A and B are shown apart, each in its own frame.
Chain A
Amino acid sequence: MSSTIEFCKIIREILAKPLCLPKSGRYLDLAQVSDLNGINPEERENDWPDQNPIAEATHLIIETMIGCNLTLTKMGINELLKAYLRFINSENEKDCTELFSDYIYEIYLYGLKTDYPYTDLLWNYLSNCFHVVSQYLLEKGYTEGCRIFLQQIAAMGKAAAQKGLHTSTIQHFLHTLELRAKELNQSELAAAAKNHRFNLEIF
């Protein structure tokens, strides 16, 4: 069992590596190509996948979940989200948000497992983090990133509501976000937040 500081160090080291987006690099991923014509698979046989620090970090976090160490799990998620806020910029906001929110969704899905004891606590922690992160995105003007992030949160919220987890935090923050977005004249984002809020518990 590693100590908290050690774990923090490891995950920070991993996340300090440069970010690599799925579409960059030369490694042939069949799911990412629309048309194989014109690409010679043999030619690209020697292209190796890029390093994927986020996937590594996610894997590490899920390992702490298997060991039921909630403190480390929370810290891992915290570091992951902090890394996200560090990596995001106005050029990569869409891809970066998609990448990070997918991995967070993975962590969340593991948390819904029936033999994971801290589903409630983890969900509360995630909801609290989401609030701050999306508010930051909004204030910094990452509209597209914020929109994608909200979409992913709403999907998680919906799944959570179906499992009987409380969604009041999400509801509240979607509402405050909507008000704030209106104030900042981001009417499209405000409408999206409202729509997510109204659809959160319809199933």
Chain B
Amino acid sequence: MFNHTLYPFIVISMIGGLLTLLSSVGIFISLIIQRKVERLQAILEEFIDLSYQSDLNLSGKMFNLIEKYQMHYILPANPRRIIMGYMNITIGLTAAFWLSLYFLSFEGPFRWISILYLLPLVALTLIMFWFRKLLKYVINIENTPLLGAIIPAPKRLRSISYLSSFINVSVKSVLKQARLSLLLKKYGEENNEPWTVVLKEELSFDDFFYFVICSTEKDTVFVSFGEIIFDFPNDAITGKPSPIKKNLNIPLGEAVMNVEPEELKAHILIFTRGEKHPINYLFKLKKGGKNYYAPADNPEVTIDHQITYCIEDNKIILLKNESPLPFIKEFAHLFNLNGIRLYLGEISQGKTVDKNLKTSTESVFVD
């Protein structure tokens, strides 16, 4: 038989050994994570540097950088499982040993006061589980409060609002790489078929509020506004995450035109969280063929100093509006950042009523 005075010490030293191993695993993980974070930060920095060179075409590079970032971002599932399994076993064994030490040293008879002696065990087990949670956060960076704030998720890199408010990047130069463009298309052959208005983005930057107004020389034919926010699920076939996409089309709504002029004028105002003046795009849309209007040349892009806004509680509040564009004042109370796109397809005699507004429910597509 074992020596009863020595045995508890053997168990204690076993516990000591287990805890040492556990802490060294902690150090090992932190080393890996540190390297990873450094990598991610380097890519992030490269990405930010890129957005200052607005006169170059960087869409391809930006796309590649975001994909690269995504690749480094997630630790593969297998090592994560191994580490978590190891931690579970170690913590479980340690707690079991502690409990068995209690039994070994317990001398009857039972009194209620001895429950108090169990408190340190409860506290330690709780802390062990806390430690486990921390390490779990470190190896799963995704959507955890610990590293999420330092290392943004890859999909945050396509968010204009994130880039403009947390990192000092010029929205104009980032959007230049997104290459916004507007297109009016008719799907059917009939004359009274409505025109589908599509906002095209070569690179899927999102998380901003837009206001589109499309007009002929005299009348406004189409108004649309809302927040653009994407949610790209993992690829259905390969299972790969897709933080950013190319050639994206956002259906804004349908317009009805009684006369079809050769040229249309369209303004797009872009409101983002980090700025106070919107960006103004001016497109000249030329009729090509019978069924579509497309921009004739590159749009004029300016920062519109005639409008000043701020965002409170996901609502855009116009502090100053001296813009000659119509309908901004009328709809300003509906400028909410809630991911919904509203449009007005038929405008009779320049009058508008809120209840004529329709919601564009069609989802975005790649084309």
A residues sitting closer than 8 Å to B (CB atoms) are 120, 160-162, 164-169, 171-172, 175-176, 179-180, 183, 194, 197-198, 201-203
B residues sitting closer than 8 Å to A (CB atoms) are 53, 55-60, 63, 179, 181, 183, 185, 200, 202, 246-247, 288-292, 294-295, 297-298, 367
A180-B288, A201-B63 known; A164-B56 Cβ under 8 A = yes
B289 and A161 form a contact (CB under 8 A): no
A104 CB to closest chain B CB (Å) equals 20
A172 and B294 form a contact (CB under 8 A): yes
Chain B residues near A169 (CB-CB < 8 A)? 297-298
List the 10 closest pairs (A to B, CB-CB), nearest first.
A164-B56, A201-B60, A166-B57, A183-B289, A176-B294, A179-B292, A168-B179, A180-B289, A176-B288, A164-B57
A161-B60, A162-B60, A201-B60 known; A171-B291 Cβ under 8 A = no
Chain A residues near B56 (CB-CB < 8 A)? 164-166
In the assembled complex, the Cα of A120 lies from the Cα of B292 at a distance in Å of 30
Q: 18 A-B Cβ contacts within 8 A? A: A161-B57, A161-B59, A164-B56, A166-B57, A168-B57, A168-B179, A168-B181, A168-B202, A172-B294, A175-B183, A175-B294, A179-B291, A180-B289, A198-B246, A198-B247, A201-B60, A201-B63, A201-B246
In the assembled complex, the Cα of A166 lies from the Cα of B53 at a distance in Å of 12
9 new A-B contacts at CB < 8 Å, known A161-B57, A168-B179, A179-B292: A164-B56, A164-B58, A165-B56, A179-B185, A179-B294, A197-B247, A201-B59, A201-B202, A203-B60
Chain B residues near A164 (CB-CB < 8 A)? 53, 56-58
B261 CB to closest chain A CB (Å) equals 18
Of the candidates A120, A168, A171, the one having the most CB atoms from chain B within 10 angstroms of its own CB is A168
B295 and A172 form a contact (CB under 8 A): yes
B289 and A179 form a contact (CB under 8 A): yes
CB nearest neighbor in B for A135: B288
A162-B60, A164-B56, A168-B298 known; A183-B179 Cβ under 8 A = no
The residue that B202 contacts in the complex, of A120, A171, A183, with Cβ under 8 A, is A171
Chain B residues near A180 (CB-CB < 8 A)? 288-289
Identify whether the interface residues of A are mostly helix, strand, loop, or mixed.
helix
Chain B residues near A194 (CB-CB < 8 A)? 367
Chain A residues near B294 (CB-CB < 8 A)? 172, 175-176, 179
In the assembled complex, the Cα of A119 lies from the Cα of B299 at a distance in Å of 21
B179 and A171 form a contact (CB under 8 A): yes
Chain A residues near B183 (CB-CB < 8 A)? 175
Chain B residues near A171 (CB-CB < 8 A)? 179, 202
CB nearest neighbor in B for A169: B298
Chain A residues near B202 (CB-CB < 8 A)? 168, 171, 201
In the assembled complex, the Cα of A120 lies from the Cα of B55 at a distance in Å of 10
Chain B residues near A197 (CB-CB < 8 A)? 247
B312 CB to closest chain A CB (Å) equals 35
A179 and B60 form a contact (CB under 8 A): no
Of the candidates B55, B57, B292, B298, the one having the most CB atoms from chain A within 10 angstroms of its own CB is B57
Chain B residues near A165 (CB-CB < 8 A)? 56-57
In the assembled complex, the Cα of A161 lies from the Cα of B55 at a distance in Å of 12
A97 CB to closest chain B CB (Å) equals 23
A73 CB to closest chain B CB (Å) equals 21
A111 CB to closest chain B CB (Å) equals 15
In the assembled complex, the Cα of A120 lies from the Cα of B56 at a distance in Å of 10
A159 CB to closest chain B CB (Å) equals 12
CB nearest neighbor in A for B202: A171
Chain B residues near A179 (CB-CB < 8 A)? 185, 288-289, 291-292, 294
CB nearest neighbor in B for A176: B294
In the assembled complex, the Cα of A180 lies from the Cα of B287 at a distance in Å of 11
Chain A residues near B185 (CB-CB < 8 A)? 179
A183-B289, A183-B290 known; A202-B60 Cβ under 8 A = yes
Chain B residues near A168 (CB-CB < 8 A)? 57, 179, 181, 202, 298
B4 CB to closest chain A CB (Å) equals 73
Chain A residues near B58 (CB-CB < 8 A)? 164
B247 CB to closest chain A CB (Å) equals 6
CB nearest neighbor in B for A201: B60
In the assembled complex, the Cα of A49 lies from the Cα of B58 at a distance in Å of 45
A183 and B291 form a contact (CB under 8 A): yes
CB nearest neighbor in A for B58: A164
In the assembled complex, the Cα of A166 lies from the Cα of B183 at a distance in Å of 20
In the assembled complex, the Cα of A176 lies from the Cα of B249 at a distance in Å of 14
In the assembled complex, the Cα of A202 lies from the Cα of B61 at a distance in Å of 9
